Amino acid sequence: MEGNSTILILIASLTVAVLVVVIVIIFSIFQNKKIDFLNEQKEAEQRFKEEIIKSQLETQEQTLQNISWELHDNVGQLLSVARMQLNILQPQLKENQKELVNETGEIISKSLQEIRSLSKLLNPEMVKNIGLDEAIQLEIDRFN
């Protein structure tokens, strides 16, 4: 009987050991799958964030492009027309009025030049072509 109980204890011990090994293997597989899932989730979140940033940059570039075009095309044309009208009006004025109209024309010309410079700097393509450093230097020069 004692031999049988020893064999039973040995079989039970081996069974428990095999069960423990199987449970450890299953737990390890589960943990690896969980880690893989979490890594995939983090990667998807990172890709999503990158796409959002890319979309924001594209929107900003398009907005700057539109502002640049509006400044250059619409506001620039309006100032050019105003300057031409002053030039047409000037011969009909008295001498003291001519000086005032001439100064106003110079202000309009300077404004037109500033708007053209600003519209170029707002254009993302220009910054890409000449580089950020040179674009910043041009803006600094414009302020000086």
The C-alpha atoms of residue 15 and residue 20 are separated, in whole angstroms, by 8
Helix axes 2-69, 95-122, angle to 10 degrees: 160
For 72-98, what is each residue's pLDDT tens digit?
888 888 999 999 999 898 888 888 888
Number of domains comprising the chain: 1
Q: 138 in a domain, yes or no?
A: yes
For 121-138, what is each residue's pLDDT tens digit?
777 777 777 777 787 787
Q: 122 in a domain, yes or no?
A: yes
Q: 31 in a domain, yes or no?
A: no
Inform me whether the pLDDT recorded for 42 exceeds 90: yes
Q: 102 in a domain, yes or no?
A: yes
Q: 78 in a domain, yes or no?
A: yes
Q: 40 in a domain, yes or no?
A: no
Domain that holds residue 104: 59-144
Q: What pLDDT score was predicted for residue 107?
A: 93
Q: 18 in a domain, yes or no?
A: no
Q: 92 in a domain, yes or no?
A: yes
pTM higher than 0.75, yes or no?
Answer: no
